[in-house]
Every structure is written in structure tokens, then in C-alpha cells.
Chain A
């Protein structure tokens, strides 16, 4: 069954390698790789002049800036509160802890459109929180602030679930040693415990950020979708497609993927650098 040259794999007593890998590769190619290649080919066939004309269009730039900017702010908020929630769940025992622990995964389970209409109802000027904010002259729904809130909802579990297992692994003896050597609790937490968590925290930030950049369902209901102001990049792709402007949609999608991968590459590089500098913490 094996269609791979034998030099590519080591001998094994188990059967079915060719069948399993063949099925996996066939499914992966048909479902993921060939369709993505279609995007890349389409982008390549547009030609640099047209490509940059669409890329430099103020509406494209505004949408990309909004998507990456709001995703960045939301991921930063989630980094702070995700760490706090992971800390509370790992370190403290209190009534309701199990329910909170389970509820953190809600954004993974709740369809984005459901979260979207619900948050729009809450933060709209006539909604329970939106009406209070209105009295203080603050508009949440139909502004970039509403987009940030939706992305905070979507991204929170990524940070908590990445940090939580690492925090559980931190040995208590390093804290005891730090305390015995006379460090204050705050100093022990920030200079002894948390450095172990920083790589996981950065990974959680990257996951939340990547998800936020591409998020569509939870955002479009609360965003207001005003061109140049509150129109996210994924929505602009949908609009271009509805206008049968496949080229425009392709260019924006390609830019989104390129910037996303560049940022993930950068974050990986930072993690590799911090590992060589501080040891494998």
C-alpha cells in the first residue's frame, strides 16, 4: 500500500500506514490545500499594478487597520484578564470555581452569530448596558469599541486555556525559595512565578489576536459596518464578493493572510529568542 519511498519512513510492525496517510493527504489536499492554492494563484494572476491599486485603496487600508487594531487591543485586554482568570482558577478554591472554569469555554461553543446579536442587543443605545453608557456620552455598539468588546468575548478562552496548564505546572518550591530569601509576595509573583508563564501568555495572545483578525460573525452585528469607520476586513471581502469583484476580495484576503502569518512568524521568533536568552522557561 505504501506509495512513499521506503527511505522516507522508518520500518514499523503496524499495517495501514499507506492507507491512513493516503486518506489524510487526499482529504487535506482536496479540502484545504488546493482551495488555498486557488487563492494564491488568483492573487498572482492579478498583476502588481492592479494588486497595489486595490491594496492602497483607502477603504481597504481602513478595513485592515480596523481589523488588526481592534484585534490587537482585544488580545491585550484578554492577555491581562486571561492571566488573572487563569491565576484565580489555578491558585484559589472558592464556591462556583468549577462552573467558572467550564464557562470559560463558552465562546468556543456558542455560535458567533448568536454572540453577535446578543452583544449588539446589550450594547445598543437602547440596550441594558448601552443605555447606561449613553448617559455618560459613550457609544459602544456601532463603533470600533463594540468591535473590541466582541473580540474580547471571542478571544478570552485562548489566553486562559493556554496559560492555565502551564501555571498548574509551576513548582511551589521556587516560590518557597523566593519567599525564604526574603522576596515580597509581589516580587515572587512577578519575578519568579510569572516568567514561567510568559511564553504561554505570548502564545495565548497570538491565538486570540489571530482569531480576532479573522472574526466575522460576532462582529458584524455590533460593528455598524460604516465604510472607513467600522467596516472590518472580512466584511469588506464579503462585500466585494457580493459585487462579484473576485479580484478585490482576493487581494484583501491575501493581505490579511500575509500580515497574519508575518505577525505569527514574528511572535515565534520572539519566543525562540527569549528561550535562548532566558533558558527554556
Chain B
């Protein structure tokens, strides 16, 4: 009983025996709130304060700059390729993994998650080693005048690699929990494989798919490290929005940098709102996976 001597009883009231006292609760909530306020809210609010430091005119002026517009266009283009591609991979992977039993499944799951445990900079580096001027395929690409590194294809590839697992890991556990009985019933009733997938499987996972797409898109539009390595930072050509922020910041154009940042912060807020709405409205259809990332 030596241990209990060190812990003084907080309360002798039996109804409080499985909860903390009100003052303890208040202190814990206050500490959590202060920590989140300082670490999360303050940086978010600062983005908008700094963006508006010189008024709305300067803010909008940044978005009239052709380089900024080119960066926005490139970010949208990259996301428009990377997100649908990874959604397709996520659907294919979850169909194979959740609906069938085969050897090596755990290895496949581990490999799909692999990009999460690699530094974004390394995700960019591997493509430089493959396609760069001194890379394995560099000389051949150069002869055929194909540009991947320091060009848009490299940016797309690096973004696809970094966001590879997002959709798959939302869909796989959900489809696993749903089993195969509904699909089997549709096939028995004479539906084709594609029809079964489109009319039975897809409606069952549509909210989880949207959830995965949302997270995938946020990361695709915001990716910095991997894209930075392969981009070459050519203004108006290979600059995405996050890279443009870096360039403006290093030019001491802080208002410009925070103006572009505020657009991405707005996107982050919309993502969080939509994500929270999906978790609240369709909690059951996202399964227990909504908490995992």
C-alpha cells in the first residue's frame, strides 16, 4: 500500500470516485486550451493578420500578380491530376484487399502506407535520382528532350507519391468491415461486375471516399518539401502556391507571402469544416477509421 500513501484521495464522495473534482477539471481544460491556443490557433490567426497588415488593397494586389496566378493555376493542375489518380488507386487497392483473401496482404498494406514514413524531401530526392540530369534515366530523357525534373511532370509525380496512401487507408478498413455479401447478392441477381461495383460498392463507401479525397487534396495542394526538391523554382512555370510563398518570403515581401498563405489557410479551414461535417453527419458510414490518419 506504499503507493496509495503518496496519492492523497481527491474526494471521499462516492459519486465523484470515477471523475475528477471540478477544480481539477477546470485546470486541465484550461491547460489544454492554453496549449492549443498558443500552438494551433495563434499561428492560424497570425496568417490572416499579417496578410491584412497593409490593407485589402495590397492583399488583392498580390493576386493580380501573374506569377501568383501561375502558381495558383499550377497547384490546381497538380491536385487535379494527383487526387483522382490516388482515388483510383485507393479504390482498386481496397477492392483487392478488402474483398479477397490472398497471401502477402499485410506486406501490401505496409507498402501502401510507406510514403507516410518517408521525409517529403526524400520523396522528391528519389525522383531526382531517377530522372535528374545525373539520374539513372537522365541522359536518355535529355536525348529525347523529355523534361521531368524541374518541370511539371516531376511536381505531379512527387505529389502523387506523398499523397499516395490517403484515400486507400480510409477505404480499406471500411470495405473490410462491409464484407462481400451485398456484392455477391447483386452478382447472383445477374448484375455485371462493373455494375455491381458502381451501384453497390461505390454508394457504400462514397462518404469515406470523399473524406479520403478531402485529406488527399489538402496535402496535394499544400505539399512543400517533395515539390521543392523537384521544382527548380522557376517563377511562373514550376512554382506551386507553397513554393511561391517561400519565394515571396525570401524576397522580404511578407505581405505577399502571407496573402498567398491566407488563401491556403482558407482552404485548410474549408477542409476542416467539411471533414468535421462528414464525421458528424456520416460517422457510421466512415466507420471507426475517421480518427486515423
Other-chain residue from A109, A165, A249, A250 in contact with B288 (beta carbon distance below 8 A): A165
**With A35-B130, A109-B271, A185-B9 as contacts: A117 and B225 at CB distance below 8 Å:** no
Of A19, A111, A183, the contact of B221 (CB 8 Å cutoff)? A111
B11 within 8 A of A: yes
**Residues in A neighbouring B119, C-beta threshold 8 A:** 213-216, 234, 237, 253, 256
The residue in chain B whose Cβ has the minimal distance to the Cβ of A189 is B20
Q: Which residues of A contact B44 (CB under 8 A)?
A: 106, 110, 118
B208 at the binding interface (Cβ < 8 Å)? no
B57-65, B139-147, B156-164: which lies at the interface: B156-164
Cα A66 to Cα B219 in complex, Å, equals 26
The answer to whether A38 touches B130 (Cβ under 8 A) is: yes
Select B161's contact among A31, A81, A161, A186, beta carbons within 8 Å.
A31
Q: Within 8 Å CB of A41, what residues of B? A: 136
CB distance from A255 to the nearest CB of B (A): 11
How many whole Å from A83's CB to the nearest CB in chain B? 10
Contact B160 A31 (CB under 8 A): yes
| Majority SS at the chain B contact face | helix
Does A17 lie at the interface of the complex (its beta carbon under 8 Å from any beta carbon of B)? yes
Is B114 touching A24 in the complex (CB atoms < 8 A)? no
Residue numbers in B under 8 Å from A238 (CB-CB): 121, 228-229
Given A111-B268, A234-B121, A20:B101 Cβ within 8 A: no
Q: Which residues of B contact A213 (CB under 8 A)?
A: 119
- Known A14-B196, A246-B128; further 15 A-B contacts with Cβ < 8 A: A10-B101, A21-B96, A28-B164, A35-B127, A39-B125, A108-B293, A111-B223, A114-B47, A114-B265, A118-B46, A118-B47, A153-B40, A179-B14, A241-B128, A249-B128
Give complex CA distance A263, B74 in Å: 37
Partner of A187 from B7, B29, B101, B117 at Cβ < 8 Å? B7
Convert A175-187 into 0s and 1s, putting 1 for each residue whose CB lies closer than 8 angstroms to a CB of B.
1100110111111
- Chain B residues near A44 (CB-CB < 8 A): none
**Docked complex Cα distance between A235 and B111 (Å):** 26
**A36: shortest Cβ distance to chain B, in Å?**
6
Q: Is A278 an interface residue (CB 8 A)?
A: no
Q: Nearest-CB distance from A110 to chain B (Å)?
A: 4
- Whether, in the assembled complex, A107 has its beta carbon less than 8 Å from a beta carbon of chain B, the answer is yes
Q: Which of A25, A85, A115, A237 has the most CB of B within 10 A?
A: A115
Chain B 44-58, CB-CB to A under 8 Å as 1, else 0, gives 101100100000000
A133 at the interface (CB under 8 A from B): no
A52 at the interface (CB under 8 A from B): no
User: A35: nearest residue on chain B (CB-CB)?
Assistant: B126
